[in-house]
């Protein structure tokens, strides 16, 4: 059982390949759209994404046959939100794919000439929460990721304590898991079997 949280700018219809892979691995999945994404109402904002993740967790915890087997899976921005949620609930594990340290770090990478701290309304700060994560973590990232620098994923991985593994994949931000293929699927399978 997993909660799958997608990348910023997408919606759940963009995750069909991920859902297929998780289905092949025998994982029942609840995937969510944040407020303002896909057909979800409301406006996108940081607290709204956290509230949506919390509501998804609560729904699964109340309705799952075995709530102790819930795994959080977040890609890109969804990974930052999954880190936030993992600090507040008790998942069996956490999968972070193409996840960054903080929105400020991302902005500094892409727009080094802008005064980010003065213009950003959002924090999305996974690095400050990472040390509090007490569950097994699988970090997945491509060195060829053109959106989230590999270095930010590696920095977040280094900040995570406890049992963790790093799965280095190939390909871009949105297709690395497909480009990597069987190695990616096997990496997920090994992590899931270890829980």
**Catalytic residue chosen out of the listed positions 45, 51, 173, 175:** 173
Domain with residues 15-30+70-194, CATH architecture: 3-Layer(aba) Sandwich (3.40)
**Catalytic residue chosen out of the listed positions 2, 6, 76, 105:** 76
14 part of the active site: no
pLDDT tens-digit readout, 4-37: 554 455 656 667 899 999 999 999 999 888 777 7
141 part of the active site: no
Q: pLDDT value at position 34?
A: 78
Q: pLDDT value at position 10?
A: 60
Could you please report the per-residue DSSP string of 46-102? HHHHHHHHHHHHHHHHHH-S-GGG-EEEEETHHHHHHHHHHHHS--SEEEEES--SB
Q: pLDDT value at position 165?
A: 98
pLDDT tens-digit readout, 128-149: 999 999 999 999 999 999 999 9
CB 188 within 8 A of CB 96: no
Torsion of CA 42, 43, 46, 52, to 10 degrees: 20
173 part of the active site: yes
**pTM, to two decimals:** 0.90
Query: Is pLDDT at 189 greater than 90 in this prediction?
Result: yes
pLDDT band at 83 (very low <50, low <70, confident <90, very high): very high
**Catalytic residue chosen out of the listed positions 33, 105, 125, 145:** 145
């Amino acid at each position: 059982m997993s909660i799958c949280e997608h990348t910023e700018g997408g919606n759940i219809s963009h995750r069909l390949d991920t859902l297929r892979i998780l289905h092949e691995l025998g994982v029942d999945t609840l995937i969510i759209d944040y407020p303002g994404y896909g057909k979800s109402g409301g406006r996108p904002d940081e607290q709204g994404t956290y509230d949506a993740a919390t509501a998804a967790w609560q729904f699964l915890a109340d309705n799952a046959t075995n709530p102790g087997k819930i795994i959080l899976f977040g890609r890109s921005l969804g990974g930052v939100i999954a880190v936030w949620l993992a600090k507040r609930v008790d998942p069996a594990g956490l999968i972070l794919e193409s996840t960054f340290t903080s929105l400020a770090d991302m902005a500094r990478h892409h727009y080094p000439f802008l005064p980010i701290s003065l213009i950003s309304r959002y924090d999305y700060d996974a690095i400050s929460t990472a040390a509090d994560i007490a569950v097994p973590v699988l970090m997945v990232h491509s060195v060829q990721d053109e959106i989230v620098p590999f270095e930010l994923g590696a920095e977040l991985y280094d900040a995570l304590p406890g049992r963790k593994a790093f799965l280095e994949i190939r390909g871009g931000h949105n297709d690395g898991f497909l480009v990597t293929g069987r190695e990616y699927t096997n990496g997920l399978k090994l992590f899931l079997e270890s829980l």
